[in-house]
Structure 1
């Protein structure tokens, strides 16, 4: 019985050591958070007439007038 427990512990330790040796390491630090300046949002020229839609509608217009509310501050819990 004790031989099976010793064998189990030995395999467990060997597995842990092998996992630590072969694990990938990050060579760089954590990436910086995106800011508002990093967004590439297409905007129409000033003075260009724009269509206003109500509901779901398909259009051939390529302009994006609203992208949503993108946050670039961390969420506090």
Structure 2
């Protein structure tokens, strides 16, 4: 047999063995809404509503909306 053919067979066999014997990765636990730490304002602080982008000395999150718990499934876009 040709040495290149032998090397290709050994390469293919080692690849198949390494894939078969590798440990299966565990799926990560999905993030719950309670796990996310949003900076909230304290009671009595001034509240400013800014629509768009703005630089502020201290910032906070007043509301959090449209939090999706299901995966977004879309089909390919057609142009």
State the TM-score bracket (shorter-chain normalisation). 0.5 to 0.7
TM-score (norm 1): 0.57
* Rg larger for: 1
Aligned equivalent of 2:49: 52
Alpha-carbon offset, residue 31 of structure 1: 1.6
Confirm or deny that 1:43 pairs with 2:40.
yes
RMSD: 3.1
SS at match of 2:71: coil
Number of residue equivalences: 73
TM-score (norm 2): 0.56
Pick 1 or 2: higher relative contact order, CA cutoff 8 A, min separation 6.
Answer: 1
Q: Evaluate the alpha carbon distance shift between residue 11 and residue 69 of structure 1 in structure 2; reply closer, same or farther with a 3 A threshold.
A: farther
Task: Mark the runs of 5 or more structure 2 residues left unpaired by the alignment.
Answer: 75-79
Task: Mark the runs of 5 or more structure 1 residues left unpaired by the alignment.
Answer: none
